[in-house]
Structure 1
């Protein structure tokens, strides 16, 4: 049994004129110690999927259907009191901006000690010792000094290391990292991702990494999900998808990477933009931007088809697979 299993998750936002569907029956799983990447442009639904796991969707958003099974128990059906035992304890989350996560008027040590004591019956001294140990693990210089400092006294990279240390305080089984290096410069980003990967491997912690950076996903994760307009359109082993992407959208994301361009030529970009939730196209939501779109793509939502070890939601991929099958039968 998977450590985390999401089944047909449907998330909506209640607004005037009717509900807007942010997630459209997405399903995926995460095993113990596995590293999973969620990829897509802004507005694809990556962060909504992550927040839904711990039922952190703010009103008017709500989970309209599906299950989120953690060790077989449905998190979507739990009360706030039951979820508080899971949040930050067994499933930890690293948010995009550490300054929005850390309380500016409390010292680092106070915040870490409070996080521990919220879940464990433990003395303040013992909690402080654990906090100091975690700061050492994330390689913060002068960790004893940092415990008594405030967030504004630390650099962006050090604040993000503190956030990772807080996520590790209670030895969680899963860490959800939502764009954990967005606000950092490139060299610090690489350091933080290498640190997070090393800590997860040492502790056998499952990692769900939400990002738009395919380069990071290719280096860190074992499996990946590609999301578009609230739906998973391709999922499977990371190396297999990066080396031979099946869906036109995934191919476009890979071709848009700077290293894929030729010197002196304009970088490739996918034409158009992600549709708003209020104006999701009929059929395949990607069809207005797809060079391979047919009338069928405009009329019917594609079902998943398996290509190798990858599941893809694309009419053209299904057509190619069926044609190859017919050719093999004719030649055999």
Structure 2
């Protein structure tokens, strides 16, 4: 059994004009010590999927259906008290902006001690010792001095290292990293990701990395999910997807990388933009931007316009695409019958 199993997750936001479905039938799993990447454009549902795991979705959002099982325990429907034992203790989260996570009026040491004492019955002296050890692990220079400093006294890279140290404080089983290097320059990004990878491997911690950077995903993760308009559209081993993407959207993401363009020419791009969740097209949500939705004879590929594609297996990957189904000679599996 996997450490984390997510099946048919459905997340909605209740608005005046009706519910908007932010996640549709999302399923994936994570083994102990495994590293999983979730990629896609802004608005694809990556962060909503991550926040759902710990029921951190703000109202009017709510989990409308599905199952989230962690170490055999169903998390959906758990009390706030039970979830507090899971959050930060067994599943930690690293957010995009350290300054939104760290309290500006408390020292780094006070915040780390507070986190430890919220979950363990230990003295302040013991908690400071553990906090110091974690700062050493994330390679912060002069860690003793950092304990008494405030967030504004540290650089962006230092703050992100502190956030990683806090995430590791209670020796979690899973770390969810939501765009952990967005605000950092390229050199610091590489250092932070190398550090996170090393720590996860050393302590056998599972990692869910949410990012739009396919380069980072290819270097850090073992498996990846590609999301579009609230739905997983491709899943499989990272190396296999990067080397041979099957879904037209994944192909578009790969072709949009700067190194894929001829020097001096315009960068490749996927035409159009992601549809609004309150106005999704019929059939495959990607079909308005997909050149495979039209056949070579100029006729519409009707299935793309009329039916939500189910998953088919291509190599070691699962792909939700009618075009791939036809190429492999598979019959379309209705979306409601697909499983993880």
- Structure 1 segments, 4+ long, off by >2 Å, are none
The count of corresponding residues between Structure 1 and Structure 2 is: 323
Shift of 1:150: 0.3
Distance 1:281 1:181 in 2: 33
Matched residue of 2:209: which SS? strand
Distance 2:320 2:242 in 1: 17
Q: Tell me the equivalent position of 1:318.
A: 325
Could you list the per-position Cα deviations for residues 207-231 of structure 1 after superposition, in whole angstroms to 9, with x for gaps in the alignment? 0000000000000000000000000
Distance 1:177 1:12 in 2: 22
Deviates more, 1:294-303 or 1:27-36: 294-303
Give unmatched runs, 5+ long, in structure 2: 294-300, 331-340
Could you list the per-position Cα deviations for residues 5-58 of structure 1 after superposition, in whole angstroms to 9, with x for gaps in the alignment? 000000000001110000001000000000000000000000000000000000
Report matched runs for 1:171-320 at 5 Å. 171-293=171-293, 294-320=301-327
| TM-score using structure 1 length | 0.97
Distance 2:219 2:281 in 1: 33
Distance 1:142 1:292 in 2: 56
Shift of 1:289: 0.3
Q: Tell me the equivalent position of 1:124.
A: 124
Distance 2:115 2:270 in 1: 43
| TM-score using structure 2 length | 0.94
Shift of 1:125: 0.3
Shift of 1:260: 1.1
Matched residue of 1:114: which SS? helix
Q: Tell me the equivalent position of 1:168.
A: 168
Shift of 1:277: 1.1
Q: Tell me the equivalent position of 2:83.
A: 83
